[in-house]
C-alpha cells in the first residue's frame, strides 16, 4: 500500500485508513489483551495519524506507517510500558537455534484446538507475539515488518524464527508432547 501522491489529504487518509480498521483493531487487542484498552489504542492511533499526516512520506508504505504509530502508542501507554519492561534486552542477540518441528501429527492444529493456539500466542512475550502476528496474520513482508516495528530486517528474521520456536514449544507443552 504505497502512496505516491504529493500530499496526503484528510479525505485520502480516510480512504486509506478505514480499510485497515479491522486488522489494526485485531492487532491492538492482541497487544493490550483488553477490549477497552484496544479501542483506546486504535482511537489514539487514528487521531495521531490524522494529526501527523504531514510526517507521512508519500511513496512509502502507509500500512506499515499506521502499524508503527499504533505500536509506538502502545509502547508508551501504561499497559505497554509495563509489558515492554519485561522484554529481555538481549532477546535478539542470543544465537539462533533452528527450530525443531516434531512430527506433522504432533503439530497439526485442529480447528477445535484453535483456542489452545490462541492461548499460546497470548503467552508469547510481546516482541515475539507482534512479529509473529504481523507475519502470519497480516501477511506483511519482512521489509514491512521492519518498517512497522522500526527494527532491521535481520532482527525481524531472527525474532520471527525464535517466535515460531517458542510457539511450537509452548504448544508441545500444552499438547503434552
Partner 1 sequence: MADEFTAKLDVYLDGELPSIEMKAIDAHVRGCPPCAADVLSRVQMKRATQSAGKRYKPSPEFRQRIQQQIASRPRERMSRAWMTASAVLATLLIAGLVNTYIGREHMKQEEAFSEVADLHVAALASPNTVDVASSDRHTVKPWFQGKIPFTFNLPELQNTEFTLVGGRIAYLGQAPGAELIFQIRKHYVSVFIFQEHAAPELRSGSGVRKHVSFNYETWAEGGLRYIAISDTTGEDISKLAELLKIAAMS
Residues in contact with partner 1 by CB under 8 A are 9-11, 13-14, 17-18, 21-22, 25-26, 29-30, 35, 38-39, 42-43, 46-47, 50, 96, 98-99, 101-104, 107-109, 111, 114, 117-118, 121, 132-133, 135-137, 139, 141-142, 157, 160-161, 164, 167-168
Give dist(CA 15, CA 10) in Å, integer.
9
Residue 57: Cβ-neighbour burial (10 angstroms; 0-12, 13-18, 19+): exposed
Report in angstroms how near the CB of residue 158 gets to partner 1 at its nearest.
Answer: 10
Give dist(CA 92, CA 76) in Å, integer.
21
Report in angstroms how near the CB of residue 57 gets to partner 1 at its nearest.
Answer: 20
Please choose, from the candidates 99, 95, 98, 73, the residue with its C-alpha nearest in 3D space to the C-alpha of residue 84.
Answer: 73
Q: What cell does 28 get?
A: 491492538
Report in angstroms how near the CB of residue 174 gets to partner 1 at its nearest.
Answer: 13
Give dist(CA 124, CA 83) in Å, integer.
11
If the CB atoms of residues 38 and 148 are measured against partner 1, the closer one turns out to be: 38
139: alpha, beta or left? (left if phi > 0; alpha if psi -120 to 50): left
If the CB atoms of residues 26 and 85 are measured against partner 1, the closer one turns out to be: 26
Report in angstroms how near the CB of residue 103 gets to partner 1 at its nearest.
Answer: 7
If the CB atoms of residues 85 and 115 are measured against partner 1, the closer one turns out to be: 115
Report in angstroms how near the CB of residue 29 gets to partner 1 at its nearest.
Answer: 4
If the CB atoms of residues 10 and 89 are measured against partner 1, the closer one turns out to be: 10
Contact criterion met (CB below 8 Å) for 71 and 140: no
If the CB atoms of residues 40 and 68 are measured against partner 1, the closer one turns out to be: 40
3-state secondary structure of 54: helix
Amino acid at each position: 500500500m504505497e502512496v505516491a501522491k504529493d500530499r496526503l489529504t484528510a479525505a485520502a487518509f480516510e480512504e486509506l485508513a478505514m480499510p485497515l480498521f479491522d486488522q489494526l483493531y485485531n492487532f491492538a487487542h492482541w497487544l493490550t489483551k483488553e477490549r477497552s484498552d484496544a479501542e483506546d489504542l486504535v482511537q489514539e492511533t487514528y487521531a495521531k495519524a490524522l494529526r501527523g499526516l504531514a510526517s507521512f512520506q508519500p511513496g512509502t508504505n502507509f500500512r506499515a506507517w499506521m502499524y508503527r504509530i499504533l505500536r509506538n502508542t502502545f509502547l508508551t501507554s501504561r499497559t505497554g510500558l509495563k509489558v515492554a519492561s519485561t522484554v529481555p534486552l538481549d532477546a535478539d542477540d542470543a544465537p539462533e537455534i533452528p527450530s525443531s518441528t516434531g512430527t506433522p501429527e504432533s503439530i497439526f492444529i485442529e480447528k477445535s484446538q484453535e483456542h489452545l493456539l490462541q492461548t499460546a500466542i497470548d503467552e508469547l512475550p510481546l516482541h515475539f507475539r507482534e512479529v509473529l502476528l504481523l507475519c502470519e496474520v497480516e501477511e506483511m513482508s519482512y521489509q514491512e515488518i521492519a518498517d512497522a516495528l522500526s527494527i532491521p530486517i535481520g532482527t525481524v528474521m531472527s525474532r520471527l524464527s525464535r517466535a515460531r520456536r517458542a510457539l511450537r514449544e509452548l504448544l508441545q507443552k500444552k499438547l503434552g508432547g
